[in-house]
Amino acid sequence: MKKSMKHIATGWLLLLSVVAFGQKIKVSDPGKADFASLKTFTVAKGELTVTGEEPEVSANIFYEWVKEYVRHELELKGYTFTEDSMADFTVDYVAGSYNINRNEDMGPLGGMPATDPTKMDQSRYWSESYRQGLLVLQIYRGNSTKLLWEAEGSVNLNAAQAERVLAGMIARSFRKFPKQGRAKRK
């Protein structure tokens, strides 16, 4: 039974890593914190900002998603989730999305040969529009403002896949996070 659960967990991890492909995640450890003595954590309700259109997901639903995926990743590492405000560390987040429009004048002919003399002096333009999603995860010692760990990432976002993309970003962010009771990796 344990072996089959391990295979299922591995399958999910592979699926999430495929979803996370193309994402940019940067992890920093500003205080060089030692997580060996920390056991419990809680997830604070962070900020969700959506610009350019009505949000597809409410801030409360997004918080539940973040809490679920952070809890999953940290419990795999041996930490214990608690709703108590006296947890050893608090995971907080800032997330949002915005539209990006890119345009470029490729110059006369745009690098393409003219097929007709009337098109000799026409400029060619290239444009792209997409939605960019951002996520910043921050870990603070207890209720303090002392930052222990931070991960920030961005991804081209498709609103229909927001939950899957979020799960992948969180999994990728905690990939090298230290296991409970162990000194952090160098």
Domains of the chain, residue spans: 23-105+121-173
pTM: 0.72
CATH number of 23-105+121-173: 3.30.160.670
Average pLDDT over residues 137-156: 90
CB atoms within 10 A of CB 107: 10
* pLDDT tens digits, one per residue of 81-96: 999 889 999 999 999 8
Q: If pLDDT is split at 50, 70 and 90, which confidence band does 20 have?
A: very low
